[in-house]
Structure 1
Amino acid sequence: MTSNARFRHTGTALAHSLAPATWRGAFSMRPADAIFTTAIKVGIAATLVLIAGGLAGQPQLAGMAALGALTSAFGRYQPYRRLGRMMGIVGVGMIVAMAIGVLLGATGVPMALQIVILSLLAGLASHVFTAFRISGPGAVILVFAAGAGSGYAHSFADVAPPIIAVAIGVVVGWFAAMAPVVWVPLAPSRLAVARGIAAVVSLGTDDAGPRRAAAAAALRSARDSVTVSAGSLRENSSRSRRLHQDADHLHLLLDDAEATLALFDVPGSGSHADALTLLTQHELELRKVRGIPKVSLRQTGAASTAGENPPSSRGTTPPAFWAAARCEFASRSSFHQALRMAIAAALSGWVAVALGLGHPLWATMGAIAALQGLNYASTVQRSIQRLVGNVVGAAVAVVLLSLSLGFWPSVALVVLFQVLAELLVLKNYTLTTIAVTPMALIMTGLGTHLGPDAALSRVADTLVGVVIGTLVAALSISLADRHHLPKESHEA
């Protein structure tokens, strides 16, 4: 019975990947806010290392350093105390991946075996990133770095320079991402509070359904962010005292939002318009570059209208960063995801080798990128978006590569496409891939000649990767994964 149920579930999943509605949905645009901050950080980090590498006369190593600088693209919107640790983990992973890649290249390991090793690296990286809840480009960047190192190193004399280059890039990326903590230490927390308030305001008079639960979750996440950002109070530090004062005001705003949310549970509490209007004003203030609205619960009256102060998690200490990750490492779902990612990545690379494609690791990366989705529905969506984005991006790359651009124009294009990718990633992954494809090809060709045919090869390799990735995802889908089913079936 269980086998029949799984067979039907897999069949439904495969049918979902071919449905016209699925393809239409892959091109929908999502709302996104605060998209400029990370894009600027990534652009600054990439610019610094590419210019330095060019001035040093090391264009290929400049590309390696730019890969390391992509560390700054991870951990978007995290409080700085947590972000620094997350990027440290990613940075170590980038250096290890580059070391593995150059050793594979220097020792002449056959491509089929390289694919196995890098697929296992991808699975391990996925498991680690999930355990530490590190968002961003994901394991595919580590495999990209390892592949670049493998292509660069032909002897042991070539081992050290790429590792040093990517390490420099990691350090530059880390500082570029962390620099704003000096001026706006609570910026990620202010954004989290603004988003939590926006979720409450969006309820209006509708207090039913998952939107209310989502608003409550957004407020809890914001509370956690503020607590982490404030850290421990150091009485002898004026900066720490100011930080805690501002954090207290953010907590008051969250008290206000929680009290307003509680109004929806009070029968006959009347119109919530006044409370929601005031919350909207707070949200607008929080989205400014600096400044935190100075309010108290007495000003809004929300708590008194609700009849009592709503439950607050202000005194709750978030789980320790390392302790929380240790618990997540034992997650069966994360292990399952890592395992099927490794399998799909290896199969894709082997098929690309068997077909005689020129860059089989691109097929491996296609499968990895597809399987970075949270569920089967998002895997299919990412597969469609990556394939279509690669086709369009490859067309752009063909034009650019045929121009035989020099180093400095190539650097300008790499930075431009990286910034565009970060601006678009939260809007639609297709647009992001359109920008990433020429950026990756131009970066790969820094200091070497990469012809337009490489762009066509990338499309073929990507097609292999996303098809095999989707098939593996469908064959290994959990019976609990029902996000791809019609709403009525999901509820049943």
Structure 2
Amino acid sequence: MGKHAKPSGKSLTTAPDGGARARPLPLRSTVRLRRPVDIWHKPALSAVVAMAVPDLTLYALGRLDLILYTAAGGLCALYAHGLPYAARARTLLWVVLGMAASLGIALTAASLTASAAVLVLLASLLAAAHKMVCEATRIGPPGNLIPTFVSASAFFVPQRLGQVPLHIALALGAGALAWLVCMAPGLVRPRGPERIATARALEAAAGLLRTRADAGAEGDGAAHARHTTAAAVNAAWHTLFLVPVRTPARAAARAGLERLLVRAESALGDGAEAVTEAEAEAERLREWARLLRSGGPLPEVPLTAAQAEELDGVAAEGAGPAGVGAAPRTAVPAGPGLRQPAPGAQRGVRAVLARLAPGSPLLPIGARVAAGCVLAGWASLAVGVGHPYWAVVTAASIYQANTTLSWQRAFQRTVGNLLGLVLFTVLLPLIHTGPLTMIALALACQFGAEACITRNYWLGSLWVTPMALLLTEFGARLPEATLIGDRWLDTVVGAVVGLACCVLVTNRRAADRIDVALERVAEAEAAAYRLLAEAPAPGADDARETGWARDRLAGSLVELREAVEVAAGEWWQRALPEERIARAERDGHRALAGLVRRLEAPALAA
């Protein structure tokens, strides 16, 4: 969940007695537009194609009432566009299977009971599971919103038990098409995702160098730029670690990106370079980033002897022990060395289960979602809405990493949904012209949602609302006045009740997460200083150990900053150890700079 947290923009205040204190929730800066994410068009186009083919097929067959089920699979095309293709293939498979399982649960429940109150309860529990699993897997946007919308809608679709297998098969078929659509760009640019991740790290490093040249190495702007660069470089390394290297060509391509990342990491040094040198290096990094994004050839990147040793030396380690009984490893071809993750880090299913273990900070988030959704759905039923799935979806969508972000999301969701209802009303004359127009409008709204949602959530919700209403209209037409009136009620009830539960169900573990993160920073920092106390040794072993120490320290610093931002957004929380946090970040960044300098220094003669 941490990677989606944003600074609240509020300075921290400490209670005089050092105990818990309330923080004001922001009322401004919730509708400001940002620059769109650089790859927004990829999920937008993928989802349009993955939904258009089944929609037109069902139109030709005269079965538009089945669009909700094919949409469940088609919407899987929104995920995993930042992952290398090998990892994307695995991730999308899990997304499709998870979507089909959620749809199956919802349809089975709808076929077995007609109690709206029971269906709301089940939909709320499933929404909580979606939230926790998506945060634990760190799947990224759109996160839990899509499976929650699809399953909550399906809970209130009239269903017979015998129809369920066919409807799940339709979702799986559309999901298979979405998988193919998302994998298709790999035929043209097979290394596109890792190139973009590396370009982002280069751009962040260039921004850090420019900030230091303008404001000095110790200013607040430089501290923020340093954290941004460390996070971008850390994310890029994790992306490269997912790239398989089964052929010499792939190994050489990944090695070229690693050289660029090592160069970007050098910006995390102590900043002692002259202003002109910093500006020249920043421009050089930006030019390399532009080259990566345009698909051009990888530039030749000069490295110091120690940096080259770090990369060249891991080939022997990656090959593993030889002999009978040796564990099989991924082959690393001869030639350039390839970095590997620091040993001991959990990956895959075990990492997900560890994040969901008892004591996890995700448990209060799950409790908030479950309580908020069920109360919002029941409140919607109480005011007369017969199918309150929209209230459940609204409540589920507003829950973010902390109360401040949830407050902002609730406001954005309400504004966006109400404006979306106005847009739907304006589009009614077009909608009445026929099913082909409805299909075209639904696809256009889907594209508009992806184009706008990264600029601000309210702007994306403006397009999501008519798209969602159109999808439900294919199955069963309702009077427009009833449909729009129910959505107004559901939106307001879902946002108000959901936010009230968010405020009342506080996340007391947010501050505990800071304590854990501080301990990890201290351990990584101590290991770094132990290594720095020793004289650099020639050869690959020392360079590899230095690289692993840098990875551990950089990752722990990123986790600390994310934990602080999450806790700072809780409106009722015990006082944070601000001085300890500031000291840990300052000392940690200094140790990180020392490790970077160690890798930049020429290797000692043997």
Go from structure 1 to structure 2 and tell me whether the alpha carbon gap of 1:48 and 1:466 turns closer, same or farther (over 3 Å shift).
same
Go from structure 1 to structure 2 and tell me whether the alpha carbon gap of 1:243 and 1:387 turns closer, same or farther (over 3 Å shift).
same
* Cα deviation, residue 169, structure 1: 1.8
Name the residue aligned to 2:290.
284
Q: 1:320 and 1:294 mapped to 2: Cα distance?
A: 32
Name the residue aligned to 1:225.
239
Judge which range, 320-329 or 109-118, deviates more.
Answer: 320-329
Q: 1:423 and 1:255 mapped to 2: Cα distance?
A: 33
Of the three residues 37, 61, 74, the one matched with 1:69 is: 74
Of the three residues 32, 44, 56, the one matched with 1:28 is: 32
Provide the TM-score with structure 1 as the length reference: 0.87
Is the aligned partner of 1:387 residue 2:387?
no
CA contact under 8 A between 2:365 and 2:401: conserved in structure 1?
Answer: no
Q: 1:438 and 1:369 mapped to 2: Cα distance?
A: 17
Name the residue aligned to 1:146.
151
Is the aligned partner of 1:357 residue 2:371?
no
* TM-superposition CA deviations, 1:67-109 (whole Å, max 9, x none): 2211111234122222222222221221122112222222233
Name the residue aligned to 2:254.
247
Name the residue aligned to 1:83.
88
CA contact under 8 A between 1:227 and 1:247: conserved in structure 2?
Answer: no
Name the residue aligned to 2:589.
none
Mapping of 1:171-182 within 5 angstroms? 171-182=176-187
Of the three residues 447, 451, 459, the one matched with 2:479 is: 451
Q: 2:451 and 2:51 mapped to 1: Cα distance?
A: 15
CA contact under 8 A between 1:259 and 1:309: conserved in structure 2?
Answer: no
* TM-superposition CA deviations, 1:40-80 (whole Å, max 9, x none): 11111011111112112210212320222111112341222
CA contact under 8 A between 1:263 and 1:269: conserved in structure 2?
Answer: no
Name the residue aligned to 1:43.
48
Q: 2:73 and 2:51 mapped to 1: Cα distance?
A: 9
Structure 2 unaligned spans of 5+: 1-14, 315-337, 512-566, 580-606
* Cα deviation, residue 483, structure 1: 2.8
Go from structure 1 to structure 2 and tell me whether the alpha carbon gap of 1:125 and 1:41 turns closer, same or farther (over 3 Å shift).
same
Q: Structure 2: which amino acid aligns with 1:200?
A: A
Go from structure 1 to structure 2 and tell me whether the alpha carbon gap of 1:227 and 1:154 turns closer, same or farther (over 3 Å shift).
closer
Q: 2:86 and 2:71 mapped to 1: Cα distance?
A: 24
Of the three residues 111, 124, 135, the one matched with 1:106 is: 111
Q: 1:310 and 1:357 mapped to 2: Cα distance?
A: 67
Name the residue aligned to 2:506.
477
CA contact under 8 A between 1:70 and 1:173: conserved in structure 2?
Answer: yes
Q: 2:18 and 2:490 mapped to 1: Cα distance?
A: 33
Q: 1:158 and 1:359 mapped to 2: Cα distance?
A: 21
Name the residue aligned to 1:168.
173
CA contact under 8 A between 1:99 and 1:159: conserved in structure 2?
Answer: yes
% of aligned pairs identical? 26
Go from structure 1 to structure 2 and tell me whether the alpha carbon gap of 1:447 and 1:401 turns closer, same or farther (over 3 Å shift).
farther
Go from structure 1 to structure 2 and tell me whether the alpha carbon gap of 1:440 and 1:310 turns closer, same or farther (over 3 Å shift).
farther
Is the aligned partner of 1:215 residue 2:229?
yes
Counterpart secondary structure, 2:28: helix
Counterpart secondary structure, 1:332: coil
* TM-superposition CA deviations, 1:386-419 (whole Å, max 9, x none): 1000111001112323552421111111111111
Q: 2:109 and 2:54 mapped to 1: Cα distance?
A: 25
Counterpart secondary structure, 2:242: helix
Aligned-residue RMSD, C-alpha: 2.7
Q: Structure 2: which amino acid aligns with 1:359?
A: H
Aligned pair count? 463
* TM-superposition CA deviations, 1:269-328 (whole Å, max 9, x none): 97312211111100111111x234221215xxxx59xx9889889623375322322322
Q: 2:33 and 2:173 mapped to 1: Cα distance?
A: 36
Name the residue aligned to 2:373.
345
Judge which range, 423-432 or 446-455, deviates more.
Answer: 446-455
CA contact under 8 A between 1:363 and 1:462: conserved in structure 2?
Answer: yes
Go from structure 1 to structure 2 and tell me whether the alpha carbon gap of 1:407 and 1:348 turns closer, same or farther (over 3 Å shift).
same
Mapping of 1:311-460 within 5 angstroms? 315-317=339-341, 319-330=346-357, 332-371=360-399, 373-402=400-429, 403-453=431-481, 454-460=483-489
Go from structure 1 to structure 2 and tell me whether the alpha carbon gap of 1:262 and 1:169 turns closer, same or farther (over 3 Å shift).
same
Runs of 4+ in 1 over 4 A off after TM superposition: 4-8, 267-270, 307-314, 489-492
Q: 1:458 and 1:400 mapped to 2: Cα distance?
A: 16
* Cα deviation, residue 118, structure 1: 1.1
CA contact under 8 A between 1:122 and 1:143: conserved in structure 2?
Answer: yes
Go from structure 1 to structure 2 and tell me whether the alpha carbon gap of 1:125 and 1:219 turns closer, same or farther (over 3 Å shift).
same
Q: Structure 2: which amino acid aligns with 1:381?
A: Q
Go from structure 1 to structure 2 and tell me whether the alpha carbon gap of 1:116 and 1:7 turns closer, same or farther (over 3 Å shift).
farther
Go from structure 1 to structure 2 and tell me whether the alpha carbon gap of 1:96 and 1:342 turns closer, same or farther (over 3 Å shift).
same
Judge which range, 209-218 or 396-405, deviates more.
Answer: 396-405
Structure 1 unaligned spans of 5+: 17-21, 235-239
- Point out the structure with max Rg over C-alpha: 2
Q: 2:297 and 2:495 mapped to 1: Cα distance?
A: 45
Q: 2:506 and 2:19 mapped to 1: Cα distance?
A: 8
CA contact under 8 A between 1:401 and 1:450: conserved in structure 2?
Answer: no
Counterpart secondary structure, 1:470: helix
Name the residue aligned to 2:494.
465
CA contact under 8 A between 2:446 and 2:464: conserved in structure 1?
Answer: yes
Counterpart secondary structure, 1:445: helix
Name the residue aligned to 1:19.
none
Q: Structure 2: which amino acid aligns with 1:324?
A: A
Provide the TM-score with structure 2 as the length reference: 0.71
* Cα deviation, residue 263, structure 1: 5.6
CA contact under 8 A between 1:115 and 1:361: conserved in structure 2?
Answer: yes
Q: Structure 2: which amino acid aligns with 1:275?
A: E
Go from structure 1 to structure 2 and tell me whether the alpha carbon gap of 1:205 and 1:385 turns closer, same or farther (over 3 Å shift).
closer
Name the residue aligned to 2:538.
none
* Cα deviation, residue 215, structure 1: 0.2
* Cα deviation, residue 149, structure 1: 2.8
Counterpart secondary structure, 2:83: coil
CA contact under 8 A between 2:130 and 2:148: conserved in structure 1?
Answer: no
Q: 1:160 and 1:287 mapped to 2: Cα distance?
A: 44
Is the aligned partner of 1:261 residue 2:268?
yes
* Cα deviation, residue 344, structure 1: 0.7
* Cα deviation, residue 205, structure 1: 4.1
